[in-house]
Amino acid sequence: MTKCKRMGEVPELPEVETVRRGLERLLGSTAVIRAIRLQRPDIRFPIPKELPRKLARQPVTGVRRRAKYLLIETPAGILLSHLGMTGTWRLVERGAEDKHDHCYLDLEDGRRFAFRDPRRFGIIDWIEAGGEAAHRRLKDLGPEPLGEAWTEDYLWRASRGRKVAVKVFVMNQKIIVGVGNIYASEALFRARIRPGRPSGRLTRAECGRLVLAVREVLSEAIAAGGSTISDFRHAGGSSGYFQNSFRVYDRGGEPCTACGAQLRAGALGGRSTFWCPRCQA
């Protein structure tokens, strides 16, 4: 089933991971940067002026992801980018440049990648070699949801004494990264936890279920190639996937797939929230 895409949702971790894999595939292990060309001095924030000088003639040694940041690695340092709401990395033909292309990454093999971002919520930044852990955009981030540090024990300890609603809590990037609005709703449904529950009231078993549910929904979304993002394009320029297999997200008023009860819609922390009043306690 496909549904209309919702405006205002941003690329979440699965979409960013899909872009990372696309970039990794396209850049391969032999790409060498010829030049970085900045088409404007800023996107959401100023782009470091030294970027073109630092990255000229640097070989690409890897493409990683931390939270929703894409990290293109070179011996000199890392080109960090964030897609914001409408950002894309795409392979472009010469002569097919667009006014929303803010940064060009030209390779020695003649290929050109463009960072295009019409709404300009994206970020391009520079990390000096060895400076990743202390970098201002990365230093306060919580563990990766698919990494080893995201455990029942971690969530249990982190949530003790916290009154904030569990959905708001798991969307806090200092607690855990990459769980945006869509996947927070989906994970809480699978874990059978109501989104408005105070975090500190979760039982240890519920913490375990939620950790597992977050891993599952993100892993499945990555396997499906991301979800329903407006303006989203994979690295390389092909259209994104718009598959919709959400159990609760954007389905307020529809019957629950598990029990048939009418799903609820509301707001928490200023974000739309969906849950089943019978399955989620």
| Residues carrying an active site annotation | 11-12, 68, 271
Strand partners, 80: 71, 125
Q: Rank residues 147 and 277 by Cβ distance to Zn ion and give the closer one.
A: 277
Determine the Cα–Cα distance for residues 246 and 264; give it in Å rounded to an integer: 14
Nearer to Zn ion, 34 or 264 (CB): 264
Contact in structure between 168 and 180 (CB atoms under 8 Å): no
What's the min distance (Å) between Cβ of 261 and Zn ion?
5
First-to-last C-alpha distance (Å) of the chain: 28
- Using CA atoms, how far apart are residues 220 and 226, in angstroms rounded to an integer? 9
Determine the interface stretch with Zn ion among 30-38, 143-151, 224-232, 269-277 (rule: CB under 5 A). Answer: 269-277
Cβ closer to Zn ion: 171 or 256?
256
Minimum distance, C-beta of residue 206 to Zn ion, in the bound complex (Å)? 17
Residue, CB closest to Zn ion = 256
99 Cβ contact partners less than 8 Å away, ≥ 6 residues apart: none
Beta bridge partner(s), residue 78: 73, 127
Q: What DSSP line would sit under 138-153, residue for residue?
A: TTT----TTSTT--HH
Within residues 205-264, the interface with Zn ion by CB under 5 A covers 256, 258-259, 261
Give whole-number Cα distances, 49 to 75, 93, 215, 241, in Å. 19, 25, 38, 35
Q: Are 27 and 264 in contact (CB under 8 A)?
A: no
Rounded (10°) CA dihedral 236, 239, 240, 242: -170
H-type alpha helices, 122-232: 152-159, 166-170, 181-190, 204-223
Q: Name the segment binding Zn ion (CB under 5 A); options: 122-130, 156-164, 229-237, 271-279.
A: 271-279
**Residue 238 CB, nearest approach to Zn ion (Å):** 36
Q: Is 279 in the site for Zn ion (CB under 5 A)?
A: yes
Count residues binding Zn ion (CB under 5 A).
Answer: 7
Closest contact distance (angstroms) between CB of 68 and Zn ion is 30
**Residue in the block written with tokens 């009043």:** 277
State in angstroms the smallest separation of the CB of 278 from Zn ion.
Answer: 5
Alpha carbon distance 151, 143 (integer Å): 10
The one-letter code for the residue type at 25 is: R
CB of 193 to Zn ion, least distance (A): 13
Max CA pair span of the chain: 60
The binding site for Zn ion (CB under 5 A) comprises 256, 258-259, 261, 276, 278-279
